[in-house]
Amino acid sequence: MQEIQKARLPQLWEYLAKKAPLYLPQQEDGVINFAPWQEGARVKLESLNTVLPPKSIVFPQWETYLHFTQKARELKLTPTKEPEGSYILFGVRPCDVAGITVLDRVFLQDPVDVFYESRRRCTIISLACNEPDISCFCSAFGLEPGFAPAADIMLWDGDKFLLWQSLTEKGETLTHSLTDLLEVPTPAETESVQCLRETAATVQEQKWGLDGVKERAKDMFNAPIWDSLYRRCLGCGICTYLCPTCHCFDIGDFSRGERGERFRCWDSCMYKDFTLMASGENPRPTQKERVRQRFMHKLSYFPAQHGLYGCVGCGRCVRKCPVNIDITQVIKEAGGSISCA
Amino acid sequence: MLKHPLFPQVAVVERISRETADIKTFSVAALKGGVPFNFMPGQCAMLSVPAVGEALFSITSAPAQADFLEFSIKKTGAVTDCLHGIEEGCQIAIRGPYGNGFPVAQLKGRDLLFIGGGIGLAPLRSLINYCLVHRGDYGNIHIVYGARSAADLMQRKELYENWPASPATSVYLTVDTGQEGWDGHVGFVPQYVEELGFSPQNSIALTCGPPIMIKYVLAGLERLGFQPEQIHTTLEMRMKCGVGKCGRCNIGGKYVCRNGPVFNFAELKKLPAEY
Amino acid sequence: MKEIMQKMRAEAARVLSSGEVDLVLGWEKGDLWWQSYPVFIENEKKAELLTWDLFCVPNLAKYLLEEIWHKKRVALFFKGCDALGFNQLMQDKRVDREKAFIFAVPCSGLVDPQKVERAGLHQGLLRVERLGDELTFVYKDREKKTAAPWFYYDKCLTCRYPNPVVFDFMLGEPVPVNPRERFTAVKELEGQNVDARFQYWQRQFSRCIRCFACRNVCPACSCRECIFDLTSPRWLGKATELSENQFYHITRAFHMAGRCVDCGECARVCPVQIPLTSLNRKLIKDIDELYGPYDAGVDPQKVPPLVTFNPGDPAAFLESKGV
Amino acid sequence: MSVAAKTQDFEPLIVAFCCNWCSYAGADLAGTGRMSYPANIRVIRVPCSSRVSPNFILRAFQRGADGVVVAGCHPGDCHYVSGNYHARRRFSMLRRFLEFVGIEAERLEVHWISASEGSRFAQVMQDITDKIRVLGPNRKLRDSR
C-alpha cells in the first residue's frame, strides 16, 4: 500500500492528464459531474455521487457510429473510428464501479459492442466512501462502500492523505510510474484502511437483507404495488438517465442533404414511445407498465439474464426523483428487510 | 478498424412486387450479388433507409432458395412508408440475421399446421418453402391463411399454385368479410382452425399474425388438444438493436430479438403477459 | 403545520365519506426526511396518510388531466403556486373547474433539500420543523435551530402568490406576501454582452440530458401530443448535440411565454440545475414591458398576451438590440 | 487563410419566410421588374407571417442559415385580418429572447412588405445580406454535425 498527500493531488492530476485524458468529479454552476481535467479545474472529490454516473463516459449519451452518403440510388456507409480507450477515471465511488461491471454484462456479451469495449480499456481509480449518505444502500446488493473490487486502483480518504492500493496489473503499472508522488504509509495508516472500511459499512444507516428478493421479485409482476406506485410518476427520464446501470438506447439518423450519420443514444423505458410500435400497438400502454418494467428489470429480469442485480444502490434515483418514487420501497415490497443501525 | 455490431452492409433492392394495396415484397441482394448473409426460417433482418431509420422485418424467403433475401413489408410507419416509395435498383442498408428462428430440427417427422393472418404469413412462408424443399422430412402440411379481404391475401401464386401442388400439402384460405367473386371460406382465422379441427397427433402448429389473432388461435388450438409445447408462435415488439442490448423488446427476462421471435406456447405461458 | 395537517385529514375523510368526491389528491410522508410526495386516496380510512410539512412541494394540479379523463371528481390541496398552475390548465381548457374541489393551503415557503445538504445539515437528519420563521433540524440526539428563509427554495423566496387564488375551502390563515425581487438574475444577464450570455447558456444547455422532467412537471405543458415527441416531422433529434438542446430549451420556454405561472417547478426538478427560471422570467419581463403587466394563472378568464394583440403594439422587432 | 479573407469569402445563407399575399407577391414583382437582389436569399412561401413558428426559424439556423427574415403584410392589411398583429408580438418577443440566450438579434429581421413594394423587397434583402456578411457566419445555433 502507498499514500499520496492531498496537497500533492493537483501535481498528480497534472502528471496523469499528460499521460492520458483524465476524468474526475468537477463542479460547474453548482453541478458536480465527471469532466476532463484541465488547469484550474474545480475538482470535488469529497462529494459522494456525481449527478451523472461515470456511465456517461464509458457509454456516452450519444455517439455516432457510421456516416452515410446517398446519391441517387447509391448508398455508401463509412464506419466511425472506434473511440479512444486510454483514459483515466479518477475518484469513482465503489457503487459506480459496480455500475460499470453491470454495463459490462450487456455490452461485452456477444456480439461485443466494440465501442464500449474500447472505452472500457480505461483505468479506474476508485475512491472509497467514508460516510455514505442516508439514501445510499449499496450494501443491500452485497457491495461495500469502502471497497471496489473491480477498480484498478483503490483510494481511501485518510483526511490529509489518500491511501493508495493497486488492485490490477494495469493499476500496478500506473502506480509504478508515480514513485515521485507516492509515499509509503506508516503501519498505523495502513491499518486504518480496515477501520475506514468497517466504519463506512456500519455508517450506511440502514441494514439490508435481500434474501429471496430475486425470487420474490419474479412473482411480483401482478403485485398490487404497481397499481399505486406509478400514479404519481411524471414519466420523465431522470431515474433512468442518472442510473449507473440503465443502458437502454435508441438509434437515430441525422442527415443534411446527401450526407448523414447514424448515432446511438440513451433512451428511457419511462417514455411512452419507448415500446410504441409503428402499428400503434404498445405492449406497455400506461405508466404502470413502464414503472413496473424499470423495477422488475433491476430486481428480477436482469438477475435472471445475467446473475446479478441491475441496481447498485447508489441512491441517485431516490434523491432526484421529483415525486420521490423510491426503489427501496419496492425492495421492501419484494421481501427485502430493512432495519436502522 | 473494429466492426461495430450495429454497422450494416449496403444491399440492393433488386425487385419489388406488389402483393396487396399495402404490402410489397422486396428482393434484397448483397452489393456483390447473392444473399447478404445466411439465415434460418423465422429469423429477421434490420433494414434501413438512411436518414429515415431502421426497422426489423422477418425474412420471408427460404434459405438457399434464391440468391437474395425477400421481405414482405406492410406500409405502417416512417421506414415502411419510405421503403414503399423506393424503386428497383435502390441501395439500402441491412444487418442480421437476428433471432432464433423456427426450431426446424424439432419439426422433422411431424405433421405441420401453419396458421397465418395478414402480413403474418411472411415468416411462415420462409419455413413453408423450406419444408417443401425438404419435403421428405415432414408429414402432412396444412396451411391456414386469412386476411381482411380477398384483395389482402399475399403470395397468391404460392397459395393457389405452388403449395397445393406439393404432395400432402393443403391450403385453407379465409377472409374476414366476404365479397363478390370470393367463393371461399368467410370468417376469422381462429374459428376456421377450430372448424377444420386438426388433430394434435404428432403435429406441430406454427402461427403468426396480429396479436389478437394469435391470442384466439392459441386458445383454439388448446381446445383441439394441442399441448403448449406443440405450438410455436412469433412475437412482434418494437426493436432497435436486434442483439438484446437496447432493452425495449423484453417480455420479462426474455428478449424477443434474441431469445425470440419464435416462442413455443409453453415458454410463453411462463412469461409475464406483456406482449 | 400540524394543525393544518389534522384539518387536511379530517376534510379528506369528510369529502370521501360523503361521496362528494371519488378521489383526494394530497401529499404523503416517505421514509426519508425530504420525501413528501403525491398520494391518491380513494378510501376515507386512508386519509391518515395525508401529510403537510416543509417538503410538500409537488404540484398536484397536473394529475387532474389523467383523473378527470377517467371522469372522477377530485378533491385536492393547493399551495399558492399550485393554484396558479390549476388556473393555467383551466385557461388552456384542459381541466374542468366543476370536477375539482379545492382546498387552499397558504404557504410561507418550503425547504429545499439541496440547501440543507449544501449547509452540511443532512447527515443523520430525521425531520425538519418550523415555528414562526425558525426551522428546527431534528437529529437522533440533538437539534439545530436556524432562520427559515435560508433554506427555502429560491422560488419560494420570490413567491408573489403564497395564498391560493382559487379554492373552495381555505385551510388555515392567509400568510403575508413579501416577495423578493424576481428579475435580479435576468437583469444581470441582460447587462452582459451577447457573447458572454451565449457562453453562459451554452454551458447550461450543454448539461441538459433531455430527461423532460421540466416539461412533464409543468402545469402549462399540457398538450396531448408534444412537439418534442413527434416523429413525423421529427423536430427534436434524440442526440444531445448542443444545437438540439438549444432548440429544446428555446422552444420549451417560448411555448410558455405568456402562460408560465412562474411556479419554478421546472427549475426545481432539473437534475442538472439549468436555471430555467431565468428563461421563463425573461419572457415574463418582456411581456410586462411590451404589453403591460400580466400574471399568468391569476385570472383564467383573461386572454394570454401572445394569443392576442393590440393594433397599437410597438414594433419591438425593430430594436437594434434586444433590451 | 486570414480571418479577414474568410469574411470576404463568406456568402451568407438567408432564409426569407414570405407571406403569400403581400411579401411573396412583392418578391414576384421584384423579379418581374428585373430588380436584382442577392442570390443568398432562399424564399419560403407561407400563408401568413403568423404561420411562421419559432421552430421554423430555429430549424433554419440549425441547418445552416446565417440570417432569417420574416416578411408579412403591413399592419392592417393582413389577408386574415389579424395574423400579422400576432406575428408582431411573437417575433418581437422571439428576437429579444434569442438575444437573451446569446444569439445576435440582427440575425432575425421582420419586415412588412406589400405586394406593390417590389423594390422595397429587393432593398430589404440587399440590406440584410450586407449586414449578415459583416456579422459573419452563424455558428451559435448551427448543428455541428
Alpha-carbon distance C101 to nearest alpha carbon in chain A (angstroms) = 19
CA distances from C176 to C130, C153, C161, C263 (A): 16, 17, 10, 18
Q: Which helix (H) or strand (E) holds B203?
A: strand B203-208
The residues, any chain, with a CB within 8 Å of residue B25's CB and separated by 6 or more, are B16, B17, B19, B60, B70, B71, B72, B73, B154, B155
Whether C322 sits inside 8 A of D96 (CB atoms) is: yes
Model confidence at B237, pLDDT cuts 50, 70, 90, reads confident
Mean of pLDDT over chain B:
93
What is the average pLDDT across D59-87? 96
What is the average pLDDT across A20-33? 96
% of chain A exceeding 90 in pLDDT: 77
The residues, any chain, with a CB within 8 Å of residue C230's CB and separated by 6 or more, are none
Closest C-alpha among A147, A144, A139, A148 to residue A207: A139
CATH of B9-98, one of 1.10.260.40, 3.40.50.300, 2.40.30.10, 3.40.50.2000: 2.40.30.10
Q: Does C171 touch chain A (CB under 8 A)?
A: no
SS3 content of chain B, % helix, strand, coil (to 5): 25, 30, 45
Whether B250 sits inside 8 A of A248 (CB atoms) is: no
Domain B104-234, what fold? Rossmann fold (3.40.50)
Whether B236 sits inside 8 A of A277 (CB atoms) is: yes
Between CA A205 and CA A313 the distance in angstroms is: 13
Whether A232 sits inside 8 A of C211 (CB atoms) is: no
Mean of pLDDT over chain D:
93
Chain A 232-261, residues with CB within 8 Å of chain B CB atoms? 247-253, 255, 260
Model confidence at A279, pLDDT cuts 50, 70, 90, reads confident
Q: What is the pLDDT of residue D5?
A: 46
Q: How many domains does chain A contain in total? A: 1
Tell me which chain D residue has its CA closest to the CA of residue C321. D105
Q: What is the pLDDT of residue A340?
A: 45
Closest C-alpha among C58, C64, C57, C47 to residue C9: C47
Pairing status of strand D67-72 against strand D108-112: parallel
Read off the amino acid at residue B33: G
β-strand partners of B24: B18, B73
% of chain C exceeding 70 in pLDDT: 99
Higher pLDDT, C111 or C132: C111
Closest C-alpha among A66, A65, A67 to residue A259: A67
Q: What are the chain A neighbours of B8 within 8 Å (beta carbons)?
A: 66, 77
CA distances from A281 to A98, A286, A287, B211, B238 (A): 36, 12, 15, 9, 9
Chain D 49-78, residues with CB within 8 Å of chain A CB atoms? 63-64
What is the average pLDDT across C258-263? 96
Q: What pLDDT, in 10s, does the model give residues B52-77?
A: 999 999 999 999 888 999 999 999 98
Q: What is the pLDDT of residue D7?
A: 55
Q: What are the chain B neighbours of A76 within 8 Å (beta carbons)?
A: 10
Domain with CATH 3.40.50.80 in chain B: 104-234
Alpha-carbon distance A79 to nearest alpha carbon in chain C (angstroms) = 18
What is the average pLDDT across B250-263? 92
Alpha-carbon distance A67 to nearest alpha carbon in chain D (angstroms) = 11
Q: What is the pLDDT of residue A139?
A: 87
Q: What is the pLDDT of residue C322?
A: 42
Q: What pLDDT, in 10s, does the model give residues A103-159?
A: 999 999 999 999 999 999 999 999 999 988 888 889 888 899 999 999 999 999 999
Q: Which helix (H) or strand (E) holds C134?
A: strand C134-139
The residues, any chain, with a CB within 8 Å of residue B232's CB and separated by 6 or more, are B102, B103, B204, B205, B206, B207, B262, B263, B264, B265
**Does the structure show a pLDDT above 50 at B224?**
yes
Q: What pLDDT, in 10s, does the model give residues C114-145?
A: 999 999 999 889 999 999 899 999 998 999 99
Model confidence at A207, pLDDT cuts 50, 70, 90, reads low
Q: What is the pLDDT of residue B1?
A: 63
Residue A220 domain boundaries: 2-340
- Enter the ipTM: 0.93
Q: What is the pLDDT of residue C112?
A: 97
Q: What is the pLDDT of residue D3?
A: 47
The residues, any chain, with a CB within 8 Å of residue B268's CB and separated by 6 or more, are B228, B233, B235
Model confidence at A72, pLDDT cuts 50, 70, 90, reads confident
Between CA A261 and CA B51 the distance in angstroms is: 8
What is the average pLDDT across A233-246? 97
In this structure, what C-alpha cell is assigned to residue A267? 433512451
What is the average pLDDT across A269-284? 91
What is the average pLDDT across A266-275? 95
Model confidence at C67, pLDDT cuts 50, 70, 90, reads confident
What is the average pLDDT across C172-179? 94
Q: What are the chain B neighbours of A79 within 8 Å (beta carbons)?
A: 1, 3-4, 7
Chain C interface, mutation test: which of D90, D92, D112, most C Cβ atoms within 10 Å? Answer: D92
Model confidence at A338, pLDDT cuts 50, 70, 90, reads low
In this structure, what C-alpha cell is assigned to residue A166? 493497486
**Does the structure show a pLDDT above 90 at A47?**
no
SS3 content of chain D, % helix, strand, coil (to 5): 45, 15, 35
Q: What pLDDT, in 10s, does the model give residues A321-337?
A: 999 999 988 888 877 66
Q: Does A159 touch chain B (CB under 8 A)?
A: no
Q: Which of A77, A278, A304 sits opposite B8 (nearest CB)?
A: A77
Whether A73 sits inside 8 A of B9 (CB atoms) is: no
The residues, any chain, with a CB within 8 Å of residue D56's CB and separated by 6 or more, are D17
**Does the structure show a pLDDT above 90 at C229?**
yes
